[in-house]
Chains A and B, each alone.
Chain A
Amino acid sequence: KNQVEQSPQSLIILEGKNCTLQCNYTVSPFSNLRWYKQDTGRGPVSLTIMTFSENTKSNGRYTATLDADTKQSSLHITASQLSDSASYICVVSGDSGGSTLGRLYFGRGTQLTVWP
């Protein structure tokens, strides 16, 4: 069964600290993995997208890693800010051969709270 599991479910950190969010998936075949940030009551916004051949990708203070062999990804946030408080969603795309859109599998998200 194709699944995406995220941990922890929720996380509280102090402003300025670093944190790492985890994503394990069983989706096969695999096309790409995306991390989205979703503020409360808003639509998700893409942070990074990685294909099978990419091990790491950065977007400012956000760095995502991918190990396609173990089917694990992580999102590392450096020097957290209050505005980082949000839900972070891992999304895995199943490979459709490229001719049509791939099926997306969503994790339940990690709720991050940054305290001053």
Chain B
Amino acid sequence: DGGITQSPKYLFRKEGQNVTLSCEQNLNHDAMYWYRQDPGQGLRLIYYSQIVNDFQKGDIAEGYSVSREKKESFPLTVTSAQKNPTAFYLCASSMRQGGWEQYFGPGTRLTVT
């Protein structure tokens, strides 16, 4: 069953703690992305990666870090430096064929108190 998986679906953390969100895809897509979604806002790009061992900052990268050690995996770490980490986080992947159309995972809702 192909697709993109994100885990966990819900995550709770105390302020000051780092937390890592998982994103895995078995679509053999080259590119992967992380977005943040807040109520009433459009999706905002955090980081993206076009190939293994390479990634680029998006519009709101401050307080976040990523790695791309494997083609299938693109974990996102929300650090304690992120001022407002509570949000819905979406991972996506795409490939050149098909015009880089993005396929989204089910999302992780992070709540930091």
Contacts and interface: CB of A to CB of B under 8 A. Distances in A.
A44 B106 CA distance: 8
Contacts of A42: 106-107
B42 A4 contact: yes
A111 to B, nearest CB: 9
B2 to A, nearest CB: 14
Contact of A89 (B42, B88, B92, B99): B42
A36 B40 CA distance: 16
Interface in A22-57: 31-32, 34, 36, 41-46, 49, 51
B101 A41 contact: no
Interface of B: 4, 6, 31, 40-45, 48, 50, 88, 90, 92, 94, 99-107, 109
A102 B103 CA distance: 15
A44 B101 CA distance: 12
Contacts, number: 49
A76 interface: no
A39 B71 CA distance: 28
A31 to B, nearest CB: 7
What 5 A-B pairs are tightest by C-beta distance, nearest first? A43-B104, A106-B42, A101-B100, A106-B43, A108-B42
Contacts of A51: 99
A102 to B, nearest CB: 6
A101 B94 CA distance: 9
A112 B107 CA distance: 20
B100 A102 contact: yes
Nearest to A100: B50
Contacts of B109: 41
A104 interface: yes
Interface string A59-94: 000000000000000000000000000000100010
